[in-house]
Structure 1
Amino acid sequence: MPIENIPEIYAVKQSNIPDLFVYDFKMTSDVVKSKVNLSMNMFSFLQEGKKQVHFANTSMAVNNKQSLLLKKGNWLWTELLDTDAIYYCKLFFFSEKKLTEFLSKYTNDVKPYKEEVPYFVIENDNYLAAFITSLSSDTFQNHSYSNALLSLKFEEIMLYLLNKYGSNFEYYLRSLISKEVSPFKNIVESNVHSNLKLEEIAFLCHMSLSTFKRHFTSEYKEPPGKWLQDKRLQKAKELLEAGDLKASDIYLDIGYNNLSNFSVAFKNKFGVSPTDISN
């Protein structure tokens, strides 16, 4: 899976990425999973389809009733179509420079989130629907007042969300200019019970697969494949013992592509098949 540098791939006609940038994204494939190197903070205003994003320490899924403000970084995201419509979202990128200018102009000096939360979920409403409709890449690229208009649109959405969400949103904006990076172990352990592959977790750690494996073995004194498999199978055993789920309900979430492989691995570890427990 190649790494997509965003918004660079959307601004091929521009030698330098501007501090504010709008892109109309459309997709006709049913599912697209991407490794994304997001170099600017970004609003994702989804209009058709669903989006799921895996961050270093968590994941988030939204549909067109919500929008996301995403922190720049290395993320894995999946875009899905659940109808015959074209997947469509508007992306609004902004630099740390613009964010800092806005915060100094309109807010008091507040402490950022203690947690490094990589996203903020926005509940769409009539105002936001009108705002999203007003965003168009054509409007803000081929107009003599494009930059001035886009600056006003940026302040508009920021001020509206500050009014809507208050200090929570202000704290989140502060956290976007924090330079702290999540520790390696936090990233690994927050994805223990996900279905991400090793190379995908390595990507979230900003590492090649080989570097990740070396670092992991040094940190945990055990190869990552075996360590993750043991943790995920233990979780599977707990879920089955709870009695509400069957093996067919959980094998994908535990990181297995098919039920047969999951059943074999489970029996090798625990000496019984998953059906023996769930029954």
Structure 2
Amino acid sequence: MRTLTSQVKPDVLKEQFIPDHLFIYIAKGNVSFFDGNEIYTYSSGDCCIARRNHLVKFMLSGTTEDFEPILFCFDEAFLNQFRQKYQSSAVKFASEHAIVKVCESELIHSFVRSVKPYSIGVMELDTAFEDIKYEELVIILLRLQPELAGILFNFDTPEKINLEAYVNRNFRFNVSLERLALLTGRSLSAFKRDFNAVFSEPPGRWLVRKRLQEAYFLVQHQGRKPSDIYLELGFESLSHFSVAFKKEFGMVPTSLKISNGD
């Protein structure tokens, strides 16, 4: 458990799999989140919870220098201890959205200001106050929105879901097959077996081909630049993207002629 700010933003913004519930307060700037279904946009003073075991892309509307988040990561051990200490109950939370907005309140703003005197280094809290401030934040969240207990205290593993629909919706995320298997409620071996049964192709090969087909469409029909889309489509570098594109289509993406729609 620790807080993070802009000095570690590059690492935070690369993450696409949320392993633990994450409270995010936007101290400065604007950010959007994409979960495969919807885009959520937040500005200075807004806050939300990114839910564990979900895929999320972080997209800044400005530079990293213009953006300052304050984050609290709630791991399962801490939340279990809190639940036992305060006898909190978990009601079912109806929404499956990866990002849940926390309603604006002076309680939240005051809490964020109160953290600063106990911060050391890169917004790491003094260990003597860490548990106290984490507990205070959870108490505030539950006071403001009691239904959040259904998120924070739900430690169930993902249930088995429709693999075809999930993968078609989330193929742009650059996460491991192990993560995808977990999120579809399967072991890795079961995921690979079911994937082959549905798509008649190994998952690694299918995912790369699907991303490249999407890239082809974006470049040719929407005039997007390869340098602007390779990260969006789950490729780790522009060179990796270009090599894979040429291997698939026999040309580099910059050689594509932009369609005029005729």
1:82 matched to 2:63? The reply is: yes
Cα deviation for residue 43 of structure 1 reads 1.9
Cα deviation for residue 222 of structure 1 reads 0.5
In the alignment, which of 29, 41, 50 is matched to residue 70 of structure 1?
50
Question: What residue number does 1:156 align with?
Answer: 140
Q: Distance in 1 between matches of 2:5 and 2:133?
A: 23
Q: Distance in 2 between matches of 1:267 and 1:148?
A: 57
1:24 matched to 2:10? The reply is: no
Aligned residue identity for 2:102: I
In the alignment, which of 141, 160, 175 is matched to residue 183 of structure 1?
160
1:79-118 matches, cutoff 5 A: 82-84=63-65, 87=68, 89-91=70-72, 93=74, 95-96=79-80, 98=82, 104=89, 111-113=92-94, 115-118=95-98
1:205 matched to 2:181? The reply is: yes
Question: What residue number does 2:99 align with?
Answer: 119
Contact between 2:3 and 2:71, CA under 8 Å: does it hold in 1? yes
CA RMSD of aligned residues (A): 4.8
Q: Which has the higher helix share?
A: 2
Deviations 1:84-136 (CA, angstroms, capped at 9, x unpaired): 479552416351564585754xxxx96531x5333312365554322211235
Contact between 1:67 and 1:121, CA under 8 Å: does it hold in 2? yes
Contact between 1:140 and 1:147, CA under 8 Å: does it hold in 2? no
SS in 2 for 1:142: helix
Contact between 1:50 and 1:64, CA under 8 Å: does it hold in 2? yes
SS in 2 for 1:91: strand
Structure 2 vs 1, CA of residues 120 and 268 (structure 1 numbering), >3 Å: closer, same or farther? Answer: same
Deviations 1:123-160 (CA, angstroms, capped at 9, x unpaired): 655543222112355688536xx877765553233222
Question: What residue number does 2:205 align with?
Answer: 226
How many residues get paired?
Answer: 234
Q: Distance in 2 between matches of 1:200 and 1:53?
A: 20
Unaligned runs of 5+ in 2: 120-124
Contact between 1:247 and 1:274, CA under 8 Å: does it hold in 2? no
1:235 matched to 2:214? The reply is: yes
Q: What TM-score, normalized to structure 1?
A: 0.57
Aligned residue identity for 2:156: K
Unaligned runs of 5+ in 1: 1-6, 8-22, 163-169
Contact between 1:191 and 1:201, CA under 8 Å: does it hold in 2? no
